[in-house]
């Protein structure tokens, strides 16, 4: 099969030897075992733990010449045992197209990118690929890019429809992560050890009225505006971000929310120490006329606020917000291994009902990483969450003296299967 593919690529390349061309084929296979006893939410009384293996099998193809780039990524994301043996078809529709885009350079500085693509910027707090999730996150969008002298600006646009229609343009896939329209501006200026960026993101969501059945009634918009920066300060590296959200939290609810983060990193040798604080505004439980709950939209939220995903990973939207004080240590063990330990202390940003304590609990995350061989890496993780009555009230789960923990083992195998270059003559 590989010989056939190589011959095909060679034939395609020989058709245009007037310019240099590069072809590559990469694989990404990652099985992950998980033991869940309180992952994502407090473990309920009389509940039983869950255990399973999920696997991502991804194949990436890339083509590049001096003007044109083309990229395809297909994947299957499945749980071991989710289909019957000898089944003639994929019963769970786990096969999908992750990316498919083309990029064309008009000049040395200007280029255009069209198609299904990832939008990943800065620390991925607002826009990220979400590589931890097996399926990842993509956007169907058009992008115009300008880049010169370590300054870059991206202008992205999207208009989404679920099917091809002859009448109307209502969009019923109406969730916090599925917008109808999108406009984005992201600019970044880099220096040797510093950078600063600016983001403006406008998302439009389909508005419906019930009279007596759902009827499309225009679009409501939500804006996210802010900055991300990093710079050295003495022996520390300072990183931070600040964002405002305005517009509508829902069709009939105004939104005014904020997020900010400040982090300091110090690396004296083989150990990297990090301390930081992040605040995401929330709405008082007593009720307010305006929504003040910040939501980080399309970011890689798993990497923030604890690895057990209690906050902002498909949950905690339109809630009391979060204040997160954290400390991290990453120890290099030889040339191929490392051990990380993260400790978080969580509190609500907004007021809770009945004068409940704002302290929501703490979390300890341990992650061991080892490079086994070329293109093969193993991760082993263990996390434990120490909850409070306040968090039980917010989550709506009775979890009296239950242990909330999570363990996982992941293998990442990402070899380059083929790389072929045709030189310019």
Distance CA 345, CA 386 (A): 10
Distance CA 220, CA 19 (A): 48
Query: What pLDDT score does 15 carry?
Result: 46
Query: What pLDDT score does 47 carry?
Result: 86
Is the distance from CB of 129 to CB of 118 less than 8 angstroms?
yes
Residues in CB range of 405: below 8 A, 6 or more apart: 37, 38, 382, 383, 384, 385
Q: Which two tokens stand for residue 21?
A: 């061309």
Q: Is 379 helix (H, G, I), strand (E, B) or coil?
A: strand
Query: What pLDDT score does 224 carry?
Result: 98
The DSSP call for residue 403 is: -
Distance CA 136, CA 300 (A): 9
Length of the chain: 425
The whole-angstrom distance between residue 29's C-alpha and the CA centroid of its chain comes to 19
- Look up tokens 């039980």; give the residue: 392
Is the distance from CB of 17 to CB of 378 less than 8 angstroms?
no
Report the helix count and the strand count for the chain, using DSSP H and E: 2, 19
> Within 10 Å of residue 38's Cβ, how many Cβ atoms?
23
Q: Which two tokens stand for residue 44?
A: 């309920």
Query: What pLDDT score does 211 carry?
Result: 67
The whole-angstrom distance between residue 114's C-alpha and the CA centroid of its chain comes to 20
Query: What pLDDT score does 88 carry?
Result: 76
First to last CA, the chain: 29
User: Which of 97, 92, 96 shows the shortest CA–CA distance to 80?
Assistant: 92
Q: Consecutive 10-residue runs of the chain (425 residues): their mean pLDDT?
A: 47 53 97 97 90 98 96 97 83 90 97 98 97 96 97 97 88 80 98 96 90 79 98 96 95 94 96 98 89 95 97 93 98 95 98 92 98 97 95 82 90 96 72
Query: What pLDDT score does 5 carry?
Result: 45
Annotate 173-194 with DSSP letters as a single string: --BTTB-SEEEEEEEEEE-SS-
Torsion angle of alpha carbons 390, 396, 400, 401, nearest 10°?
Answer: -70
pTM (global) more than 0.85: yes
- Look up tokens 């920066």; give the residue: 229
Domains contained in the chain, CATH given: 2-422 (2.40.160.100)
Burial class (CB in 10 A: 0-12, 13-18, 19+), 258: middle
């Amino acid at each position: 099969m590989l010989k056939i593919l190589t011959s095909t690529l060679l034939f395609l390349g020989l058709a245009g030897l007037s310019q240099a061309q590069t072809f590559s084929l990469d694989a990404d296979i990652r099985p992950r075992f998980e033991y869940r006893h309180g992952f994502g939410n407090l473990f309920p009384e009389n509940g039983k733990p869950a255990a399973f293996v999920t696997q991502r099998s991804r194949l990436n193809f890339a083509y590049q010449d001096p003007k044109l780039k083309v990229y395809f990524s297909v994947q299957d994301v499945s749980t071991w045992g989710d289909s019957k043996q000898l089944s003639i078809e994929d019963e769970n529709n786990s096969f999908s197209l992750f990316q498919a885009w083309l990029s064309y350079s008009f000049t040395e500085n200007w280029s255009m990118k069209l198609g299904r693509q990832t939008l990943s910027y800065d620390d991925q707090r607002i826009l990220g690929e979400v590589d931890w999730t097996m399926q990842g996150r993509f956007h169907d969008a058009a992008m115009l890019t300008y880049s010169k002298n370590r300054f870059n600006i991206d202008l992205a646009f999207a208009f989404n429809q679920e099917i091809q229609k002859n009448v109307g343009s209502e969009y019923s896939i109406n969730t916090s992560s599925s917008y109808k329209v999108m406009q984005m501006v992201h600019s970044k200026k880099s220096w040797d050890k510093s950078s600063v960026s600016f983001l403006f993101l406008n998302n439009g969501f389909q508005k419906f009225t019930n009279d007596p059945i759902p009827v499309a009634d225009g679009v409501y918009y939500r804006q996210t505006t802010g900055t991300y920066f990093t710079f050295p300060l003495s022996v520390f590296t300072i990183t931070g971000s600040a964002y405002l959200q305005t517009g509508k939290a829902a069709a009939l609810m105004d939104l005014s929310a904020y997020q900010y983060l400040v982090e300091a990193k110090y690396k004296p040798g083989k150990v990297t120490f990090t301390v930081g604080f992040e605040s995401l505004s929330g709405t008082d439980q007593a009720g307010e006329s305006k929504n003040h709950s910040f939501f980080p939209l399309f970011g890689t939220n798993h990497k923030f606020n604890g690895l057990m995903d209690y906050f902002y990973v498909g949950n905690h939207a339109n809630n009391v917000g979060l204040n997160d004080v954290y400390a991290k240590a990453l120890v290099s063990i030889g040339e191929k291994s490392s051990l990380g330990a993260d400790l978080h202390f969580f509190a609500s940003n907004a007021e809770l009902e009945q004068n409940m304590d704002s302290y929501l609990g703490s979390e300890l995350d341990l992650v061991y990483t080892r490079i086994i061989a070329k293109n093969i890496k193993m991760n082993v993780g263990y996390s434990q969450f120490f909850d409070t009555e306040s968090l039980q009230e917010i989550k709506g789960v009775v979890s009296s003296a239950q242990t909330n923990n999570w363990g996982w083992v992941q293998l990442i195998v990402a070899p380059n299967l083929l790389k072929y270059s045709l030189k310019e003559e």
